[in-house]
Structure 1
Amino acid sequence: MKKILRIMLISIGTIITVMVVFLATVYFVNLISNEREKGKIEAYGQKVLVDGKQMNVLIQGDGKETIVLLPGYGTASPVLDFEPLVKELSPYYRVVVIEPFGYGLSDDTDKARTSQNIVDEIHECLQKLNIKKYTLMGHSISGIYGLEYVNQYEKEVQAFVGIDTSVPKQETDELPVSSLQLLNQSGFYRLLLKVNPDQLVMPNVDQQTKDQIKMLTFRNFLNESQASEAENFTNNFQNAERLHFPKRLPVVFYLADQTEEETPSWKPMHEELLKNVDNGKVVTFKGGHYLHHTKSKEIADDVRSFLSNIERSR
């Protein structure tokens, strides 16, 4: 019996040792990788001083009209994520991609990520760039911030374009922020992406750009800004329920048929937002939530037609 007990204790001890070594290896590999990647992340765009911090912005194209692009929640690098769409739009417009605090190469912030604070920062950024008139174009959660924005700065915004944008009355799930942060800090998030790289949603870009997106994903994943943004989801969505698009503001929504299949009320909720708008429409494309990855040309073509019609009617 003593021999059996000794074998069992040795086995248990071995298993515990292997587990500790494995956890430590995953942790330190992630720690070392994060340090190495800091020097490999390539700069792009320009920095704008906003509320005492640096906000990163890319401006491309020399068109007379300006389109301002805003990202969906958690986008590692808005500039690189929007690359296919910017390529299609920039021959005709001046395209401005804003990376809010906590995104891309912008600074992190401890200021609460309420819609009001986010809108204030985006507007300050555009003011610093001397951009006075523009079309606001946003993906996903930017539909909520955009709704707040156009109601505050109606005289500046010439049109709103939504890419499968969030709406105030949709169901929202609370993210387990603390658990996800622990997953990242422990190194297991990196390990999971190593095992299944397809979990990381990226546009069809060259390998170097994909590598940059991956490194920025690890750098920015649920940082202080993104954690605060997730914690403010419920309040931000509820506060947006009081808002409507201004009657004279042209609005177009590009929706993904896959999202409509998952949420049957998706199109009707967007149509509801347009019921009092003089010039609004909904267009559905085949594809997933990140339509600007797969339908950038189709979106750009329709945006050009939509904005041209607006210009002719003025």
Structure 2
Amino acid sequence: MKKIRKIIGFCLGGIISILILATLVVIINHKIHLGKEDVLVKPMGQMVSVDGHNMSVYTEGQGNTTLVFLAGGGTASPILDFKSLYSRLSDKYKIAVPERIGYGFSDVADVPRDLDTVLEEDRQALLLAGLKPPYVLVPHSITGLESVYWAQKYPKEVSAIVGIDVGTVNAYFDPSTPKASDFIAKIKILAFAEKMGVTRFIPSMVESEAAIKAGNLTAHEKDIYRAIYYRRTNTPPMVEELVDLMDNAHKVDALPPPQLPVLFFISNGDGIGLGYSKEQWQGFQISYLSKIANSKYVLMDYGHYLQDFAPDVLAQKIKDFVPAT
């Protein structure tokens, strides 16, 4: 019996030793790669200080009309994610991409992610970068809430909204929508694994990012995106945005829909990951637009990241919708 116990103990000790060794290999490999990638992770735009934290604001382009691109939740590099689209617009418009706390080149910080805080940070960042309103807001996905709230609170600052497959309040309130709490725990586990560097051994994850898979990035820009991805995937602020999602949706719903020119590009629902049918997903956005008099929408048979899958189509229709001055 003692011999069996010794064998079992020896086996368990061996398994534990292997796990510890494997963990150390993963962590050390991640640290080595982070050091090598430092040269790639240099801010592409201005860095401004907002409430004691550095925020990245990228700008380019000509014209007096400013398009402000607001990235969807969890997008590692907003600047590079939107590049395929805004590079087709910067000949006629001023382009601005503010990167929220926890995204891209901005700091990762323990700060509230309620809609008022996020909105005020973006407003300050744009002003500090020398960009004055009014703006044409171009939100993607989750930032549909922020853009609508912006127009509700500060109507003189928003001249139009061009939504790229945005989440609308009726989508978040629909009974079929999964509760954020149902997947936040899973995301936190994934975030821990990513922080350790486990995802470096699963290259298909970063290669499946729409900007890399379908966007018009150069080889060097893809390398930059990969380097950012391993630093800015499921960061604490990104997770906190999900925690606050329903409260933020209620804030938007408590105010009337803004009455201003609105154009929505609506995908076929692929890549959202919430289990909606194509008809459901498109119906949420179409139904919300029915409350806004001066609104239009374009149905597209592409996945959620339309800015990467169909930038030519989006660029032309934005030019048709937003007068360049």
Give the alignment's TM-score, normalised by structure 2: 0.86
**Residues in 2 aligned to 1:221 and 1:196: alpha-carbon distance in whole angstroms:** 11
- What's the secondary structure of 1:282's corresponding residue? strand
**Residues in 1 aligned to 2:79 and 2:140: alpha-carbon distance in whole angstroms:** 13
Choose from 200, 206, 210 the match for 1:201.
210
**CA drift at 1:136:** 0.7
Q: Aligned ranges for residues 1-314 of structure 1 at < 5 Å? A: 11-128=11-128, 129-170=130-171, 171-174=177-180, 175-176=184-185, 177-192=187-202, 194=203, 197-202=206-211, 203-247=215-259, 249-259=260-270, 262-308=277-323
**CA drift at 1:77:** 1.2
**CA drift at 1:71:** 0.4
- What's the secondary structure of 2:87's corresponding residue? helix
Matched residue type, 2:140: H
**Residues in 1 aligned to 2:40 and 2:136: alpha-carbon distance in whole angstroms:** 34
Matched residue type, 2:232: N
**Residues in 1 aligned to 2:144 and 2:13: alpha-carbon distance in whole angstroms:** 54
- What's the secondary structure of 1:102's corresponding residue? coil
**Residues in 2 aligned to 1:23 and 1:53: alpha-carbon distance in whole angstroms:** 32
Matched residue type, 1:181: A
**CA drift at 1:10:** 5.0
**CA drift at 1:27:** 2.1
CA RMSD for the aligned pairs?
Answer: 2.5
- What's the secondary structure of 1:220's corresponding residue? coil
- What's the secondary structure of 2:67's corresponding residue? strand
What percentage of residue pairs aligned between the two structures are identical?
29
Q: Is the 8 A contact 2:70 2:139 kept in 1?
A: yes
Question: What is the CA deviation profile of residues 33-56 of structure 1, one whole-angstrom value per residue up to 9, with x for unaligned ones?
Answer: 223323431331112232232221
**CA drift at 1:157:** 0.9
- What's the secondary structure of 2:290's corresponding residue? coil
Distance 1:196 1:49, change over 3 A: closer
Matched residue type, 2:267: A
**CA drift at 1:83:** 0.7
> Who is 2:174 aligned against?
none
Moved more, 87-96 or 9-18: 9-18
Distance 1:64 1:19, change over 3 A: same
Matched residue type, 1:212: I
Give the alignment's TM-score, normalised by structure 1: 0.88
**CA drift at 1:64:** 2.4
What runs of 5+ residues in structure 1 fail to find an aligned partner? none
Moved more, 154-163 or 28-37: 28-37
Matched residue type, 1:134: Y
What runs of 5+ residues in structure 2 fail to find an aligned partner? 172-176
**CA drift at 1:189:** 2.5
**CA drift at 1:263:** 4.7
Matched residue type, 2:304: H
Matched residue type, 1:131: K
**Residues in 2 aligned to 1:195 and 1:86: alpha-carbon distance in whole angstroms:** 26
**Residues in 1 aligned to 2:61 and 2:27: alpha-carbon distance in whole angstroms:** 43
**CA drift at 1:99:** 0.9
Question: What is the CA deviation profile of residues 133-187 of structure 1, one whole-angstrom value per residue up to 9, with x for unaligned ones?
Answer: 2211110111011111110111121110100001112225422243123212332
Moved more, 153-162 or 119-128: 119-128
**Residues in 2 aligned to 1:69 and 1:145: alpha-carbon distance in whole angstroms:** 12
Matched residue type, 1:294: F
Q: For this pair of structures, how many residues does the alignment match?
A: 308
Q: Is the 8 A contact 2:40 2:223 kept in 1?
A: no
Question: What is the CA deviation profile of residues 205-254 of structure 1, one whole-angstrom value per residue up to 9, with x for unaligned ones?
Answer: 1221111111111112233322322221222123322234322x000100
